[in-house]
Chains A and B, each alone.
Chain A
Amino acid sequence: MRFRFAAMLGLGVLIASAAALGASPALKPFERGTWQSVLKGHSGRPTLVHFWGVTCGPCKVELPLLGRFAKDHPEIDVVTISADLVPNLPAATQSMLDKAGLSSTENFVFNDGFAERLRFEIDPAWQGDIPRTMLISREGAVTTIEGSAEMADLEKWSAQQLSKH
């Protein structure tokens, strides 16, 4: 019995270690202060930040298009943040990202019961409607797209970013 317990414990540690090692492509918790670290981490690089959620109908349509965009534009940093206004199911979130071809981008999920505060840090005027996309240039200029983004707009912005350098 003790043996079995030890084996299970060992397995648990192994799984936990594997999860920790594989932390980069896995969902990261988006908490108080995370927005600032995202901005700092991508400072000086053209970055597309996409806010979405598993319960959001228009997001389901847009996410695979964004997956294609990320694949076609390795020069653009793509960050997704699941900002659903409901408690998130990490498995459902990851599954939708995987299906959309966004497994390898930097993916976050809101992880604070006080979502108002998280949103306020990002944009005090944002009431939580999703989808929402923020395009951040190298210089820090932000274009916010409320609602589903037109891929043509993303292409245009991306081309502008590349032409400047």
Chain B
Amino acid sequence: MIRALEGNRAVIRTGLLAIVALAFAQGTAVAQMRAPPASEAACEEPTLRCATKATPAFGPDGTLWLVWMAGGQVSVASSHDEGRSFSAPTQVTTKRLNLDWGPDARPKIVVDRKGGIALAFSTFRDEAFNGEVFYTRSADGGKSFAEPKPITANKESQRFEALALDQDGTVFAAWLDKRNRIFAKEAGQKYEGAGLFFTSSSDGGATYAEAKLAREGTCECCRLGLAFAAPGRPVAIFRNIFEGGVRDHAVMTFTDVATPGEVRRVSHDDWQINACPHHGPSLTVAPNGTYHVVWYTNGKARKGLFYAHSRDEGRTFSAPMALGQPGRNPTRPYVLAGPKGTVIAWKEFDGEKTSVHVATSRDDGETWSPPKTISNTTDTSDHPLLVSNGGQVYLSWMTKADGYRLIAIEDQP
């Protein structure tokens, strides 16, 4: 019924609406229009129950740490019983902030070997939705956090920060930054997208080096994926803007934490669109160095969620493998190389409920198990995330109706 016709700056599809059938639903529609909750949050307090975004990390002793945004505040708590109960939360922010509420934004957390906790989060600095990235650190096991500071002195716009922890405790940070649009404007040039900027901290996230540009012209509204390819060598995945406004994915392996590498294309999806997909990729690096990546595209070559791997640091990638059921709107893919294999999670929606599906691979991404549904919810939900304590991979999922969930993925490889 729907077919692709053409696409210059936009993609045009045609079809026929079943207006008659839809018209019958009008009666129920009117009844349902009475004051539904407009918020994605279950409540407006800074508590975990009210969180719209929650990000996990395991500490070296097996403690689960969770950072979340709720009621305009960022808070942290820990759990010693796999997420069944949490410590009294520590409030990281001291006042209600205009936190970046974009669908791909969330607070970030890494916990180092000594138990030091580094955080990053972003706010909207003005009504034009320009952002500002803040960082903070706890050196006392999460009891208190330093006053959050901007990660860069530049006052233009930064969003979609990501953190990754190296083996030696170095914290690497990357984000999307629009500082160079000023120079483009002054030169009368068009500025497209945003710059991929980065920095690192050699003191566990207490202070960061001066921000540097890795790549100009990346898509400005999608989350980044960040990992370490090897000690001292971060790797990022991002939605790049290739020639002609094609917003396909690329990876960049850094030479070291201060030196960017070349841009290597993940796949030729050919998604030529002048819009904000708000739907970023995910990346994990296996102990043997294999890059596993997942992403969303709506390109001419393929549409939906896809997985691929690279065994040569992103120079070449395997053929994209589709994930999920096309009629169930698969979204928000996440991939994690666990202690015994690789796990992918994503969401699907059937018109009433959202479900999280997982697939697992025991052979470094060559073959995958059939997808398995591991959780459902009937209202809005955060992206499904995966987290490992070194022995087990878990789904970490914040839902509006059912609260926070940490679910062991039992038949993982």
Contact = CB atoms under 8 A, between A and B. Distances in A.
Given A34-B29, A132-B275, A144 B17 contact: no
A75 B8 CA distance: 27
A57 B37 CA distance: 27
Interface in A71-90: 85-87, 89
A32 B32 CA distance: 6
A7 to B, nearest CB: 28
Contact of B275 (A89, A130, A141): A130
B242 interface: no
A48 B2 CA distance: 18
A87 B101 contact: yes
Interface in B393-413: 400
A148 interface: yes
B380 A33 contact: no
A116 B329 contact: yes
A19 interface: no
Contacts of B5: 143
B277 to A, nearest CB: 5
Given A115-B380, A142-B14, A142-B17, A131 B275 contact: yes
Interface in B325-352: 326-329, 331, 349, 351-352
B96 interface: no
Contacts, number: 169
Interface string A22-54: 000000010111111101100100000000001
A36 B349 contact: no
A127 B354 contact: no
A117 interface: yes
A140 interface: yes
Interface stretch (B38-46, B63-71, B364-372): B38-46
**Band of interface residues on B:** 35 or more
B19 A146 contact: no
Contacts of B326: 125
Contact of A85 (B26, B29, B38, B103): B103
Interface residues of B: mostly helix, strand, loop or mixed? loop
A31 B15 contact: no
A58 interface: yes
B11 interface: yes
Interface in A89-120: 89, 92, 111-117, 120
A31 B331 contact: no
B153 interface: no
Interface in B1-54: 2, 5, 8-17, 19, 22-23, 25-26, 28-33, 36-41
Contact of A37 (B29, B278, B303): B29
Nearest to B349: A116
A85 B102 contact: yes
Contact of A113 (B11, B279, B379): B379
Contacts of B329: 116, 120, 124-125, 127
A61 to B, nearest CB: 9
Interface of B: 2, 5, 8-17, 19, 22-23, 25-26, 28-33, 36-41, 101-103, 127, 129, 220, 273-279, 296, 298, 303, 326-329, 331, 349, 351-352, 354, 379-380, 400
Interface of A: 29, 31-37, 39-40, 43, 54-58, 85-87, 89, 92, 111-117, 120-121, 124-125, 127-132, 136, 139-150, 153
25 contacts: A31-B32, A31-B36, A33-B26, A33-B32, A34-B33, A36-B25, A39-B22, A39-B23, A54-B129, A56-B275, A86-B129, A113-B37, A113-B380, A116-B329, A116-B331, A117-B351, A127-B279, A127-B298, A131-B275, A132-B275, A142-B15, A145-B10, A146-B298, A147-B273, A148-B10
Q: Shortest 7 CB-CB distances between A and B: which pairs?
A: A33-B29, A147-B10, A147-B273, A146-B11, A113-B40, A114-B380, A144-B13
Given A32-B36, A140-B19, A143-B13, 8 more contacts: A32-B33, A33-B28, A40-B26, A56-B276, A58-B274, A113-B379, A132-B275, A150-B8
